């Protein structure tokens, strides 16, 4: 490798921390935007992929909180849902984000920890408005067969919000899933070429460009 190649490589390596920081900031910004997907970042929702005793499973969830400094993200679920049972058995999982506007995919390798009956769940529940709490008022266990379409909460709330007191029934069904991010993989699509990089945090810190 000649001197100028060496310099180019070190300049390319120096760009990695900025790219990593920007990606985390884009995740954080998505948690601060309103529900309307059409005007915001695609990072507001993500696909959670889990392991099961029979293989793998996946579904969409909403990104609720991001800690850039400590590399954590959080999402919520009904505590009785299949994904929670799966994460209890297999805490390692993956989160997949796609921002169509920016043409960026982020793939997070995570280790999860469930919070149901503790102060962390209490704290998140306390910050949830009644409209969001409505999702935890189901009298039926998620995923169980029903004789007719069921909206996921009692009929009385189809056209109205619960009062703060009524919403408290949902607390027992509420789970916070804390995700320690072990690695983040970045992919940007462009006609000029793809850009792919890996940011690893555990077991050791490492940033590297990858062939797409």
Ligand X SMILES: Cc1cc2nc3c(=O)[nH]c(=O)nc-3n(C[C@H](O)[C@H](O)[C@H](O)COP(=O)(O)O)c2cc1C
Q: Which residues bind ligand X (CB under 6 A)?
A: 45, 57, 59-62, 75-78, 81-83, 142-143
How far is Cα 120 from Cα 59, in angstroms, rounded to an integer?
24
* Closest distance to ligand X from the beta carbon of 37 (Å): 8
In this complex, which beta carbon is closest to ligand X, that of residue 107 or of residue 197? 107
Which distant-in-sequence residues (6+ apart) come within 8 Å of 159 by Cβ? none
In this complex, which beta carbon is closest to ligand X, that of residue 93 or of residue 198? 93
DSSP alpha helix (H) spans, the chain = 3-31, 82-89, 119-126, 130-133, 164-167
* Closest distance to ligand X from the beta carbon of 113 (Å): 16
Q: CB burial class (10 A; 0-12, 13-18, 19+) of residue 156?
A: exposed
Could you tell me the two tokens for 182? 């072990």
In this complex, which beta carbon is closest to ligand X, that of residue 132 or of residue 169? 132
* Closest distance to ligand X from the beta carbon of 160 (Å): 22
In this complex, which beta carbon is closest to ligand X, that of residue 14 or of residue 60? 60
* Closest distance to ligand X from the beta carbon of 197 (Å): 27
In this complex, which beta carbon is closest to ligand X, that of residue 85 or of residue 183? 85
Q: Does residue 140 contact residue 150 with C-beta atoms inside 8 Å?
A: yes
* Closest distance to ligand X from the beta carbon of 46 (Å): 9
DSSP string covering 18-55, please? Answer: HHHHHHHHHHHHHHTS-S-TTTS-GGGEEEEEEEETTE
């Amino acid at each position: 490798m000649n001197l100028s190649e060496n310099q180019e490589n070190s300049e390319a390596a120096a760009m990695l921390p900025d790219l990593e920081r920007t990606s985390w900031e884009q995740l954080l910004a998505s948690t601060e935007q309103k529900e309307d997907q059409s005007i915001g970042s695609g990072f507001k929702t993500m696909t959670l992929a889990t392991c099961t005793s029979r293989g793998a499973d996946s579904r969409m969830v909403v990104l609720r909180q991001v800690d850039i400094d400590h590399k954590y993200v959080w999402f919520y679920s009904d505590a009785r849902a299949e994904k929670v049972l799966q994460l209890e058995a297999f805490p390692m999982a993956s989160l997949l984000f796609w921002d169509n506007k920016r043409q960026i995919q982020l793939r997070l390798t995570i280790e999860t920890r469930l919070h149901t009956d503790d102060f962390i769940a209490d704290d998140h529940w306390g910050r949830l408005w009644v409209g969001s709490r409505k999702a935890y008022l189901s009298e039926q266990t998620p995923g169980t067969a029903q004789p007719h379409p069921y909206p996921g909460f009692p009929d009385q709330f189809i056209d109205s919000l619960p009062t703060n007191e009524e919403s408290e029934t949902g607390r027992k069904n509420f789970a916070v899933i804390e995700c320690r991010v072990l690695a983040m993989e970045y992919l940007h699509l462009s006609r000029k070429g793809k850009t792919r990089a890996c940011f690893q945090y555990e077991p050791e810190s490492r940033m590297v460009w990858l062939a797409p």
